[in-house]
Amino acid sequence: MSLLDTARDVRERAYAPYSNFKVGAAIRSKSGTIFQGCNVENAAYPEGTCAEAGAIAAMIASGETELVEVCVVADAETPVTPCGGCRQKLAEFGKGEVTVRMATLDGPELTMTLAELLPGAFHKSQMDRS
């Protein structure tokens, strides 16, 4: 299954009773494995957790720490970019040239790199003082 198909498939399993805005994400790790995530809302935190964060958590839980490709799908008129927090998470586990494909259910797509999505991203190396 392609990254896009995986993101579309997992989007259907999102839990979005407050916003009714389902988002699916799929990431490919350096090993080639595809991990998926969807947004999850709840009464205490109605804005919920993000699809990208779920896919990253699944990748980390499996023991992998580097992503090489990302796909995000939502039912919107135009492609939806990852939120700010997810952009930072993606930047921590992927290099600036990693492709992020954002798609709608109707066909429009937008592709950017992580560096384009989050210019000036904070990196762990900035905490190192030599």
The residues spanned by each domain of the chain are 3-118
Q: Which residues sit in the known binding site for Zn(2+)? A: 50, 83, 86
Q: Note the pLDDT tens digit of each residue in 30-75.
A: 999 999 999 999 887 777 788 999 999 999 999 999 999 999 999 9
Secondary structure (3-state) at 5: helix
pTM summary value: 0.91
Annotated active-site positions, please? 52
Q: What are phi and psi of 79, to 5 degrees?
A: -60, 145
Residue 100 near residue 114 (C-beta atoms within 8 A):
yes
**Which residues are annotated binding-site positions for substrate?**
39-45
- CA terminus-to-terminus distance, the chain: 45
Q: In the CATH scheme, what is the homologous superfamily, with its name and number, of domain 3-118?
A: Cytidine Deaminase, domain 2 (3.40.140.10)
Residue 44's pLDDT is 79
What token pair was written down for 13? 């399993």
Top pLDDT among 42 and 105 is at 105
pLDDT band at 124 (very low <50, low <70, confident <90, very high): confident
pLDDT higher than 70, residue 3: yes
